[in-house]
Amino acid sequence: MELRMSNKNKMTDAQFSLMISLISQYTESEMDQFELWKFKSKFGETFVNISLSPLGDGSAYTDVSNAIKPNPK
């Protein structure tokens, strides 16, 4: 199953897995209820919303749990 949107400059599967794994670790160690981030990209401002509750129907979200790799110690 392809987890990422198609793009000519897309991340490798390993990069995507690392990103999801780090976000998962962050949510379990640092985040309280939600995070609202923004940053500049070549497309303009990009907004990121990470929360413990879905914004709308939870079934609309893509489950990327299988991309999470154990944190090597």
pTM to 2 decimal places: 0.78
Phi and psi dihedrals of 23, rounded to 5? -65, -40
CA 31 → CA 26, 28, 43, distances in Å?
6, 7, 27
Q: Are 52 and 34 in contact (CB under 8 A)?
A: yes
Predicted pLDDT of residue 72 = 59
Predicted confidence (pLDDT) per residue in 18-73, tens digit: 999 999 999 999 999 999 999 999 999 999 999 999 999 999 999 999 999 887 55
Tokens encoding 70: 């154990």
